[in-house]
Structure 1
Amino acid sequence: MDETAVDAYLRRIGADRPAAPDSAALRTLHRRHLVAVPFENLSIHRGEDIVLDEKALRAKIVEGRRGGFCYELNGSFASLLRALGYQVGLLGARVYSGERLSIPHSHMTLRVEAEDGSRWLADVGFGKHSTYPLTLDEPGDQQDPGGEFRIEEADEGDLVVLMDGNREYRLERRARALADFEGACWYNRTSPDSHFTRSLICSRLAEDGGRITLSGRQLVTTDADGARSERHLAEGEVLDVYRTRFGLELDREPQVKGA
């Protein structure tokens, strides 16, 4: 990524260029990405292709001012961090649903090393999760505005990430290439068993630390203290909410594909 592209990306997320690739700057970039770029699966239902290529991802997220799901958001964020001097590895994960695990690589996260050698788990593509990166070298609980997190050792060398005592996903340690996630990405955007193909989702971290989520026409807002409000939108309100609450300029209301 050249300097012009870096500057455009930083403008997209409302962040200044960091003086150094340190831990403090990583925290700021992580939070700004979560606030500015929504977690959304609208491309699946709008018939838009999803291309796991760094240039294509930046074109969608930065130039097109859209969001995406894990492969897109974390894949694009990885390219920004590398351009700023961080060491970044793409890590595959399997998501928990009760005791059941999803298919391999159904989620993608980032291992990020700052200039002081500290290692972090960065994840701007999981929806409701940690506001700031989690340290990979802390065996105990980690307090975050998003909840209480813990990273535990699992068998076969994997790690398990927990939020508020619940297992979120099982994480590989081995770094992968972006192309390694193409099969799982295809599954998540085409399989009738994937929750991404069965519903619409658009969600982002609010500036005050709460969360704003639009699922179909159901708008849910949660403030930093956890107070929740829910409202069903009228047909004529939907595109305006996508524009004003998520920054998405859409030409038509998304509908679940095949519905």
Structure 2
Amino acid sequence: MKSAQADAYLRRIGAEHPAWPTSDVLRELQLCHLRTVPFENLSIHLGEEIVLEEKRLLDKVVGARRGGFCYELNGAFGALLGALGFDVTLLAARVYGDEEKPGIPYDHLALRVRTVDGGDWLTDVGFGAHSHYPLSFTDRGEQHDPAGVFRVVESAPDAAGVRGAGGAREHEDLDVLMGDKRQYRLEVRPRVLGDFVAGAWWHTTSPQSHFTRSLVCSRVTEDGGRITLGGRRFTVSAADGTKEVTELTTDEEMLTAYRERFGIELDRVPEVGKFG
């Protein structure tokens, strides 16, 4: 990423160019990203191609002022952090379903970010409703965040992994929990963006993927709550847990909500099932 591209990205998320890649800077950048770049799967239902290449991701997130899902958002954000001097590693995860079983390989892309002040962080701007701030990668206790209480813990003993001398596991998988619910199983092995192409293809084409069966656009609000347009249902969730739900009955109401609440300009309303 060139310096001008990084500057344009920072303007996109309303952040200043940092002097140093510190933990405090990372916290601020993650929150700015969550407030301005929506988690959305509109491309799937607009017939738009999703390409996991840095230039294409920047064209979408920065140039077109769109959002995306995990591969796009964390892929683009990881590139920005790397350009700003952070030590960034792409990690693969498998998302837990309703039966608390992990999903497909390369189900999710998250970031491990190290900072110059010794921080080691799990950073994720692409998981929908998740932590507002980075989570400590090494802390195994409760981590309190505006979105809830999180933990990053060693996965179950029967999880896949390579055992080293004395039975110690060299590549310990981790489970990320929000409250008591497991969110995803994280592999600590470094990956590259191209490793996630098959997972992105599955999520954009498979009838078993929830992304092909639903329409979502969501972001964190300035007061710590969240707004979500799921199908035609617009939900405002306050930080105190209260919700206000409005049904949008016309296409014009939908397009206005995308534009005014998420900053997304569309010439037509996405339709589930029209493509793929």
TM-score (norm: length of structure 2): 0.92
162, 167, 175: which one aligns with 2:182: 167
223, 241, 254: which one aligns with 2:270: 254
User: Quick one: which amino acid aligns to residue 190 of structure 2?
Assistant: A
1: CA distance, partners of 2:274 / 2:49? 16
The equivalent residue for 1:4 is 4
1: CA distance, partners of 2:15 / 2:257? 24
Q: What does residue range 160-199 of structure 1 map to in structure 2 within 5 Å?
A: 160-199=175-214
2: CA distance, partners of 1:46 / 1:184? 19
C-alpha distance after superposition, 1:61-87 (max 9, x if no partner) = 000000000000000000000000000
Q: Is the partner of 1:220 in helix, strand or coil? A: strand
Asked whether the 8 Å contact 1:54–1:75 carries over to 2, the reply is: yes
Q: Which runs of 4+ in 1 moved over 2 A?
A: none
The equivalent residue for 1:50 is 50
The equivalent residue for 2:59 is 59
2: CA distance, partners of 1:100 / 1:27? 30
Q: Is the partner of 2:90 in helix, strand or coil? A: strand
C-alpha distance after superposition, 1:138-177 (max 9, x if no partner) = 1100000010000001143100000011100000000101
1: CA distance, partners of 2:61 / 2:136? 26
The equivalent residue for 1:158 is 173
Asked whether the 8 Å contact 1:239–1:252 carries over to 2, the reply is: yes
Q: What does residue range 18-37 of structure 1 map to in structure 2 within 5 Å?
A: 18-37=18-37
Asked whether the 8 Å contact 1:44–1:257 carries over to 2, the reply is: no
1: CA distance, partners of 2:2 / 2:142? 38
User: Quick one: which amino acid aligns to residue 22 of structure 2?
Assistant: D
In the alignment of these two chains, the number of paired residues is: 259
The equivalent residue for 2:167 is none
C-alpha deviation, 1:101, in angstroms = 1.5
Tell me, yes or no, if structure 1 residue 110 matches structure 2 residue 111. Answer: yes
C-alpha deviation, 1:234, in angstroms = 1.9
The equivalent residue for 2:230 is 215
2: CA distance, partners of 1:34 / 1:171? 21
User: Quick one: which amino acid aligns to residue 73 of structure 1?
Assistant: L
C-alpha deviation, 1:99, in angstroms = 2.2
RMSD: 0.9
C-alpha deviation, 1:257, in angstroms = 2.5
Q: Is the partner of 2:24 in helix, strand or coil? A: helix
Structure 1 unaligned regions, length at least 5:
none
The equivalent residue for 1:136 is 137
Tell me, yes or no, if structure 1 residue 205 matches structure 2 residue 223. Answer: no
2: CA distance, partners of 1:210 / 1:219? 14
TM-score (norm: length of structure 1): 0.98
2: CA distance, partners of 1:72 / 1:129? 16
2: CA distance, partners of 1:116 / 1:174? 23
1: CA distance, partners of 2:228 / 2:112? 27
C-alpha distance after superposition, 1:20-40 (max 9, x if no partner) = 000000000000000000000
Q: Is the partner of 1:250 in helix, strand or coil? A: coil
2: CA distance, partners of 1:258 / 1:76? 27
Structure 2 unaligned regions, length at least 5:
162-171
User: Quick one: which amino acid aligns to residue 247 of structure 1?
Assistant: G
